[in-house]
Structure 1
Amino acid sequence: MRDILWIVQNTLRVTFRKKKNILLYLFMPLIGIFIALMAYGGDQKMILHVGVVNQDKAEITADTIQFLAGLENVKITELEAGQVQEEIVSGKLDSVITFEKGYSDSVLAGRPDHIQLTSIKGAQVTGFVKSYLYQYIDNISTISRAADGNQQTFQQMYQDYQQSSFQLSTHSLADTSRNKNMTTQTIGFLIMIMLISASNLSEIILLEKEKRTYFRLLSTPINARKYLLANVLVNMLVMTVQVAVTLTIMKSVFHIGLNMSYWEAAVVMLLFSMIAVGLSLVLISFSKSRSAANALQNLIITPTVMLSGCFWPVEVMPTTLQKIANFLPQRWTLDTLTKLQEGHAFSELSLNLLILFAFAAAFFLIAVYKFSRNKTTENFV
């Protein structure tokens, strides 16, 4: 055990003697947080700019405009008829509502008409205003029909409606989708960095072989198994720090809600770190030089990270690619975290965790088998 700890200590000292390695292994994962903040951290509150042309000049029309002005996230601007096209085309206004002459009379008659809604941004913009405006107009028309043509009765009912004693209070719920998207984006970037870090740390094996340091170590009481185990421990230690630093800064510094407990996210990511180490050893076992290892790294890591949904939602990809993603450990890691965010209990995700563990075990077994069959250099196992 002392020999293993000595190798671990020596590897860490040599690795982090270079400042660029400190940036790569400890601070690069934080870039994912800044990317997520830039993509989802802005103010998502939308203000709808609506222009109003009042050609009717009646009490009901004025009250309707006042109702629109009272809507949350709607800003009303009064215009003249000749300004409509210019304001819409220039993008200064999202839509324009024109109350033509006769609007009030049509509402009183119970057949709302003489109202025109103009927009070039489609139903996505106009739907919000329509849903409130048409309901308000229908309420007034209903009052008019109930009054049955009696102007005095209508005025009394209309006044009671405008000055109703009951009030509707609204409460805005926190939009958790932003935190979910930010967490997924950050974790996706962290997954990529962990895979790259594991590959680089495992590549030390090839580097020391090329420098003949590895063979000199084997001439001491240190054997191949101890050396390989020490490399795995270095990998796990570095990635544990990466996970802890990233999750802590997300939660405590940038206040990005994980929508799951800290330890649940940490356990899933540490389980993935075992997968990353196992995969890195597989790549090294099939490589005879660092250049070959780098080529395999670029061939496998980058495409699988992209296919698994680390950079964008997997749902936007074609069905064939989505099926391929189901065979990737990165996809199962993100799926496990997503289910935790949706409120699933950790105990309910035993299948996901078992699959992740199976990936890790499979990669380690492949690496052990390949190293044991390697006859060109000293065996690792």
Structure 2
Amino acid sequence: MTDARIYLSPPDVSDVERKLLLDAFDSNWVAPVGPDLDAFEAQVAELIGVRHAVALSSGTAALHLALMAAGVRRGDTVLVPSFTFAASANAVMYLDARPVFLDSTPDTWNVDPRLVAEELRLRAARGQLPRAVIAVDMYGQCADYEPLLVACDRYGVALIEDAAEALGASYRGRAAGSFGLAGVLSFNGNKIITTGGGGMLVTDDGRIATQARYLATQAREPVPHYEHRAVGHNYRLSNLLAAVGRGQVQRLDELIAARRRTARYYRTALGDLPGLTFMPVADYGTPNWWLTCLLVDAGTFGADRDRIIEHLGRQNIEARPAWKPMHLQPVFRDCVMRGGAVSADLFRRGLCLPSGSALSDHDRERVVAAVRAVAR
């Protein structure tokens, strides 16, 4: 009998979420607003330590609205890490602005703050400052915000935190999502918590939260008839999905603890294999261990990253490469790139192992055995 498939990061839901969802359904609050939506926003705002949260249909929608709040318009530039998922750059393109891609640091896999500061300095000298900087918290580990905030404040450039992968992580005691003009969260099915799809904009600025709610509901004016003075979007999260999110937030500590156990198991069980190097953990914060990632030195290990993925696939185990950098994506080939060697190497050698919070001991043993089999 074939073992069940092990997925990279599947949803992990329980009777807690089921009860809240059915309660919302039975109450007939099926519309895109309702008490569960309000409660979900309040829960997340309190968790992160910000004043306002706006639940939306996706993390990408939250990025789009955050960039609009930063004043990004046609022809503007926005600094974006190259080593990230495409949504970080796509949202810039929605506004007919141009992303400028920056390389990562090998010791955190996050955007290099020195490159950000240098790019801002050079562009300030030319009178061509970007409208905003997006920092992404990669694989559940925060970017280095202290120097990023200093650089952005020096030139009056808005910082937006893309914390889509990092809910529950922290930087110097502050929660991921709480930095900059606004933070962005994702509740996609593969994230640390899920609503089956969805996202959130979080901020201390009430004006930004009000604008986001307005634009996310088709920019409808507060009058009895349908009045519109701006082009809006259909971006609000439904009350039913918010009910699921409420249950997931209640279980967040449990879900993080499970992923942390998996990360530690992999590091112990595979750490003796030459040619494997796990993603560094920065000393400035605590990750949420969303995905366990490593680099493969093919010459030392005896096989490359793709060979490992292929072998795991034959064992009914899903593993994936690290993100392909934006500057290597055909759609962004004409965009400016600063550096690139680090992020290109992370993609070439980066491997993401199954990290879901519902992994069993047997699942983890299967993954380790399959990786070690390739080494042999």
TM-score normalised by structure 1 residue count? 0.21
Structure of larger gyration radius: 1
As a proportion of its length, which structure holds more helix? Answer: 1
Higher relative CO (Cα under 8 Å, sequence separation at least 6) belongs to 2
As a proportion of its length, which structure holds more strand? Answer: 2
